[in-house]
Structure 1
Amino acid sequence: VLEPWQREIVRIVRVVAQYFYPQRQTQVMNEGCATFVHYTLMNMLFDRGLISEGAMLEILRNHSNVIFQPGFDDPRFSGINPYALGLDMMQDIQRIATEPTAEDRDWFPDIAGNGNWRETLLDAWANHRDESFIRQYLSPALMRKWRFFILADAASEPHYEVASIHNERGYEKIRAGLAQSYDIGASRPDIQVVDVDLLGDRQLRLEHKVKNGIMLEEASRDATLRHIRTLWGYEVSLAAIDAQTGATLNERSTSQIGE
C-alpha cells in the first residue's frame, strides 16, 4: 500500500498526463498554425519595408530548419514533421481559397475560390484536431507534393504491397490512412480496468482491446504489469481481447512474471 506522499506523486503524474494527452491530438494544427502565422507575418512585414534583408535571411534560415523534412531513408528520419505538414496544409488552404484549380473545386466546393482564406483557416483551427483536419483538408495536390502512398503490410504476406497511389480512388484512401494515423484512439493501446476483487484476493483485472491484431510488446507489457503491481500492492492481470469479436487472445498475470 502506498504512503500518502507516494499517492500524491501518482496523483501529480496523472494530472500532468491528463493535461498533455489532448495536445497530442493537435500537433499538426498547433505547430502548423504557429509556423504559418509567423511565416506569413514576417513576409508581410518585409514587403512593407519593416524588416531588413539581413533579419529576413535569419528568419528564413530558422524557418527552414524548423520545417525540414528528412526523407524516409535519411538517418534523421523519425516520421512526418508536424511543422512541415501543418504549414503546407495551411498554405494549400490559402491557395485553394484564392487560386483554386478545377481539381480543387471538385474536392473542396465549399472553400475553393471563396477568397477568404483567413476565415477558412480560423474555422479549421476552431473546429478540427489533426485527424479530422487531415481528413477534411488534405488535397490531391499536396499528396502529390509529399509523394504519399499506402503500403499494405499484412502479417501473413512476405512482402509489402503498394495498395494506393495517385489516382481518384487512391487519393481517398491515402487521405483516410494518413488521418487515421493521427487518431490517438487508433494508435495508442486501449487498456482499461474492468474488475477488482475487493472482498477476495484484491486482484486488479485489466483488459487490452486489440485492434488489427496488434499485440503489446511482451517485455514492455510485463514491466508495466510489475509496476502496476507495485502501485496496487496486489496481483494484477491483463487480458488481451479482440476488439471486433470479443474473443480472449491471451491473459498475463503478475503471478506468472518474475521479479
Structure 2
Amino acid sequence: MAEHSRRSRSALLFDEADWNFDTLRRTYDAIEEVARKDLGLDVYPNQIEIISSEQMLDAYSSIGMPLMYHHWSFGKHFLTHERLYRKGARGLAYEIVINSDPCISYCLEENTMPLQALVMAHAAFGHNHFFKSNHLFKQWTDAEGILDYLDYARRYIARCEEQHGVDEVETVLDAAHALMPSGVFRHRRPRQPSLREAEEQRQRRRAAAEQNIYYLWNTIPNRPGDERERDAALLERKREMRLPEENLLYFLEHYSPVLESWQREILRIVRNVGQYFYPQKQTKVMNEGCACFVHYHILNTLHAEGRLTDGAMLEILHSHTNVLTQPDFDDPRFQGINPYALGFAMMQDIRRICDEPTDEDREWFPDIAGKGDWRDVLKHAWANYRDESFIQQFLSPAVMRRFRMFALSDVANETQYTVTGIHDARGYRHLRDILARNHDVATLEPDIQVVDADLLGDRCLHMRAMRRDGVPLDATSREATLKHVERLWGYKVELEETDPA
C-alpha cells in the first residue's frame, strides 16, 4: 500500500496550488502529449508568458497584441477595465492568446497551478490548433508575419507623429478606427498573400500609386465639344475604381483626392489590423468551443491516468463550469447565448452522435451518426466551417432542447412577440436557420458600399447602405460615419439607404 502511494505521488504533475516554472514545464509536456498523440492536434510552436494583472489590463487595451501603435482609445480602454477590476466589478481573463507564429499565450501570474494547466490546454493547444487549421485564418491572416508588421506599424506611426504632429496623426487614426468595421474585405481574397511580402511590395509601389491617383483625378478631358472623349475617360476611371467597393478604408486609401502618402499608409495599417481580426469575429462559437472541448478532454484524460489529483480536477471543473454558464432568458445576467456554452455543447454532442447515436441523430446526421471517428469529424469541422455554417450543419435537436431554444418574431409595428419556432420537426429547422443567421457577421453589421464618385463636378462620393429586415441605420452613428468619411475623402459624401431588391 505504501509503495502504491509513492508511485501515485510520483505520477502526479503537481499536488499543490502554487506553481513554479519546473511544474509548468512538466505539465505543459504532459498536455502536449495528449494533444498530439490522442487528439492529433496540429499547432504552431508555443510561447507561454506569465504576466501580472497590470500587464493583463494593458493587453486588454491593445486588443491583446504585444506590439501596437499608440492611440488614446487604448488608454481609455485600460482605465475602464482597471477601474472595474479594482472595484471588484469585473475579473480578469485567465489568459489571452495571440494568433501568431509562435503562438503567444499570456497566463496570469495569480492563477493557481490547476488554472495554469487549464489555460495552457485551452489556449496553447485548443485556440492554437484552431488558428492554424481553420480556413478563414489561413485565407486572411499571416501568423508568421503579424508581429513584424505590428512592429513596423508602431515605428511608422511614431515617425509620423514626429514629422507631422500628434494631432494630425490622431485625426487620421480616429477616422480610420471609426471606419474599421467597414474597412474589411468580406467576400474576396486579400490582394496580398502575406503581410511581410505586402509591406515589401508596398514600399516599391507607393510612389507609382501616388502618380496613379493624380492621373485618376487630373486626366479627364473637360473642354467644350469633347463629350464623347470625356465620357469614355470617365467610364475608364470609374472602372479603375472597381465600384461598388465594400471596403471603405481600402477605397479611401487608394482613391481619396486629398490624402498625403503618410495618411494613406496609416489607413492601410488600420485596415490590415482590422482584416487580421475579422476571422475571429466570424468564429467566436467555434474557436471558444474548440478550446473548451480540447482542455476538457486533455485534463480529464490526465486525471484518468492519475496525473491530476481530485482536488485539482475539482478546481478545474469549477472554472470550466463558470465559463460555460448559460443564464436563462429571464435571468438578469442574460446577454444572449453564451458562445462558449453553445460551442462546447455542440462539439460534445458531435462526439455523442458519432459514438452513441439515437434514431433522431441517424435521421438528422446520417453521414456521421455511429461512425465512431469523432476526432476526424471535429477536426474537419474546425478546419472548414465558420459559426454560421457550423450551426447550420451540426446543431442538433438534442442541443436545442437542452438550451430550451425557441424562435421569436419581433415586428416593429406589432405590440406583441410571436413564437415562430418550437420543439417539433418544423420548429427545429426554423430554429437552426434563425440561430445560424444570428451568428452571420455579414448580417449583423451594416452593409455600406461606395457606389459612385462625381469625378467632373463637385467630387461628391456616393455610398449606399442596404437595410437589414427594413431596419434603418442608427441616425447618430450614420452622421458620425459620414463625418469620418468626409474627413478622409475631402469633399461631400452622400449616403443612401435602400432595401434589398
TM-score (normalised: structure 1) = 0.90
Of 186, 190, 196, the match for 2:443 = 186
Amino acid aligned to 2:483: R
2:361 match: 104
**Corresponding residue SS for 1:80:** coil
CA distance in 1, matches of 2:343, 2:450: 36
CA distance in 2, matches of 1:225, 1:237: 8
**Corresponding residue SS for 1:191:** strand
Q: How does 1:7-46 map to 2 (within 5 A)?
A: 7-46=264-303
CA distance in 2, matches of 1:237, 1:72: 40
TM-score (normalised: structure 2) = 0.47
CA distance in 2, matches of 1:139, 1:13: 39
Query: How far has the Cα of 1:4 moved from its partner?
Result: 4.0
Query: How far has the Cα of 1:3 moved from its partner?
Result: 4.5
Query: How far has the Cα of 1:29 moved from its partner?
Result: 0.7
2:349 pairs with 1:92? yes
CA distance in 2, matches of 1:83, 1:66: 7
* Residues 76-95 of structure 1, C-alpha deviations (whole Å, 9 max, x = no match): 32221111100000000000
2:172 pairs with 1:172? no
Query: How far has the Cα of 1:185 moved from its partner?
Result: 1.8
Amino acid aligned to 2:463: L
Amino acid aligned to 1:67: L
Amino acid aligned to 1:120: V
CA distance in 2, matches of 1:111, 1:41: 23
2:416 pairs with 1:152? no
**Corresponding residue SS for 2:269:** helix
Q: How does 1:74-153 map to 2 (within 5 A)?
A: 74-153=331-410
Query: How far has the Cα of 1:39 moved from its partner?
Result: 0.4
Which has the larger Rg?
A: 2
2:477 pairs with 1:220? yes
Structure 1 gaps of 5+ residues are 245-259
CA distance in 2, matches of 1:85, 1:242: 32
Amino acid aligned to 2:368: I
Q: Aligned pair count? A: 244
2:440 pairs with 1:201? no
CA distance in 1, matches of 2:424, 2:321: 31
CA distance in 2, matches of 1:238, 1:129: 31
Name the one with the larger strand percent. Answer: 1
Amino acid aligned to 2:295: H
CA distance in 2, matches of 1:18, 1:207: 22
Identity, % of aligned positions: 61
CA distance in 1, matches of 2:303, 2:279: 36
Query: How far has the Cα of 1:198 moved from its partner?
Result: 2.5
CA distance in 2, matches of 1:214, 1:183: 17
CA distance in 1, matches of 2:407, 2:379: 30
CA distance in 2, matches of 1:211, 1:72: 24
Amino acid aligned to 1:155: A
1:237 match: 494
**Corresponding residue SS for 2:464:** strand
CA distance in 2, matches of 1:217, 1:170: 32
